[in-house]
Amino acid sequence: MGQILIQAEGVSKSYISGRETIRVLHGLNLTLHSGEAVAVVGPSGSGKSTLLNLFNGLLRPDSGRLQLFGADLASMNGRDLAALRRSRIATLFQDGNLIPTLNVARNLAFRRHLAGRGDGDDEVLLEALEIAAMAGRYPDQLSGGQRQRAALACAFATAPELILADEPTGSLDIHNAERVMQLFFDRVQAGHLSALIVTHNLQLARRCDRVLELVDGALRTWH
């Protein structure tokens, strides 16, 4: 087993909305090693996106212990977390996270630059995702599925060690979903990437090393 990238022990997270407390996660445990691809399934509203935003440090747990890349989240400040998110952890958000004022090619170049990666094979990446023809378009000129693939290209362009992906094939047809899965598993198998993938795509889930289900605020093995 490789290095431990995520270690969550007894993690809880609630949201306060007006007078209401929405208890989302409680007593959640997870150990994710480098080289692993883990799928997370669970119904809408069960807390899957919340989970990913704890693991990229955008949210902090209310209680419990969370370690990212061997460091305790409680001991990390905003700058530490921003550095982690720029180059080591890429998050593929459910709604895509492209910069609206940059075209696709510039979105990729900007993210790669922020991650300190120098020149990259952006064209190869865009071709692999069949959106090379969209390189000059702005995000609002793309379809939902094209936007999702462009966001994925941005995530891969930063050459992260860990990808947290929120339904990466959610807007894709079978052919494009297959291409996206290929990109993930090529990199995982080459030992360059670990992944935590929220998905409703059972084909994608089954290709992961483990499938976990989010039930009553905690993760358990899915059968």
Structure tokens at 197: 């993938």
Task: Kindly state whether residue 99 participates in binding ligand ATP, applying the rule CB under 6 A.
Answer: no
**Helix 174-189 and helix 144-157: axis angle, to 10°?**
10
Task: Kindly state whether residue 201 participates in binding ligand ATP, applying the rule CB under 6 A.
Answer: no
Binding residue for ligand ATP, selected from 7, 28, 48, 199, defined by CB under 6 A: 48
With CB under 5 to 8 Å by kind, the binding choice for 153 among Mg ion, ligand ATP, none is none
Q: How many Cβ atoms sit within 10 Å of the Cβ of residue 21?
A: 10
Tell the residue number behind the tokens 């119904």, with chain if given: 43
Distance in Å, CB of 11 to Mg ion, minimum: 17
CB 87 within 8 A of CB 158: yes
Segment near ligand ATP (CB under 6 A), from 37-45, 66-74, 114-122, 141-149? 37-45
Q: Which residues contact 141 (CB under 8 A, 6 or more apart)?
A: none
> Whose Cβ is closer to ligand ATP: residue 44's or residue 101's?
44
Task: Kindly state whether residue 42 participates in binding ligand ATP, applying the rule CB under 6 A.
Answer: yes
Distance in Å, CB of 45 to Mg ion, minimum: 8
Structure tokens at 216: 């009553």
> Whose Cβ is closer to Mg ion: residue 48's or residue 112's?
48
Give the H/E segment covering residue 220.
strand 218-221
With CB under 5 to 8 Å by kind, the binding choice for 17 among ligand ATP, Mg ion, none is ligand ATP
Task: Kindly state whether residue 13 participates in binding ligand ATP, applying the rule CB under 6 A.
Answer: no
Backbone phi, psi, residue 3, to 5°: -60, 150
Task: Kindly state whether residue 24 participates in binding ligand ATP, applying the rule CB under 6 A.
Answer: yes
Q: Give the distance between the most distant pair of CA atoms in the chain.
A: 51
Structure tokens at 162: 């860990």
Segment near ligand ATP (CB under 6 A), from 38-46, 125-133, 136-144, 147-155? 38-46
Structure tokens at 194: 């670990």
Distance in Å, CB of 25 to ligand ATP, minimum: 8
Distance in Å, CB of 208 to ligand ATP, minimum: 18
Distance CA 115, CA 136 (A): 22
Structure tokens at 67: 């370690």
Task: Kindly state whether residue 22 participates in binding ligand ATP, applying the rule CB under 6 A.
Answer: yes
Binding site for ligand ATP (CB under 6 A): 15, 17, 22, 24, 42, 44-50, 94
